[in-house]
Amino acid sequence: MKLITRNTDYALRAVCFMAKHKGKVVSVAELTRKLRVPRPFLRKILQSLNRSGILKSLRGQGGGFILAKDATQIFLMDIMRIFQGKLRLNDCLLKKLICPNKRSCPLRKKIAKIESYVLKELSAINIASLLE
């Protein structure tokens, strides 16, 4: 199983690239060349990042994308959430029958503890820390 999916991965690469060229407007064309990621897919990803406030977009000739905030203020968890939704390690066990007393299912508790650890760690990783 993967913790990080492809589109999160691509998004990270793009955001890292932009963080390394802070202040420069970067077009999809350039990113495609540099990152070797399928162009239409990358466009879709960048548009999501724009809508989510991670990037700002500039339309028209000479346009492109640029970070909407400082690289220290963009966290791995933010980007994962955009493309992978909320991190829930726990879903399946809501159902039934794994243990006699549903509410206080001991497995749920243990998984919840793991989940909160993972969440905390992922939320602490910012883009700036990935640049070197």
Binding to its own copies by residue 48, rule CB under 8 A?
A: no
Q: Which residues contact 31 (CB under 8 A, 6 or more apart)?
A: 14, 17, 37, 42, 46
Compute the distance between CA of residue 39 and CA of residue 26 in angstroms, rounded to an integer.
14
- Least CB distance from residue 61 to its own copies, whole Å? 28
The one-letter amino acid at 48: S
Name the residues that contact DNA, by CB under 7 A. 1, 5-7, 10, 27-29, 38-41, 43-44, 46-47, 50-51, 57-65, 84
22-30, 45-53, 56-64, 120-128 -> range binding its own copies (CB under 8 A):
120-128
Binding to its own copies by residue 111, rule CB under 8 A?
A: yes
Compute the distance between CA of residue 65 and CA of residue 106 in angstroms, rounded to an integer.
47
Which one of its own copies, DNA, none interacts with residue 109, CB within 5 to 8 A by kind?
A: none
Compute the distance between CA of residue 28 and CA of residue 40 in angstroms, rounded to an integer.
9
12-20, 22-30, 40-48, 66-74 -> range binding its own copies (CB under 8 A):
12-20
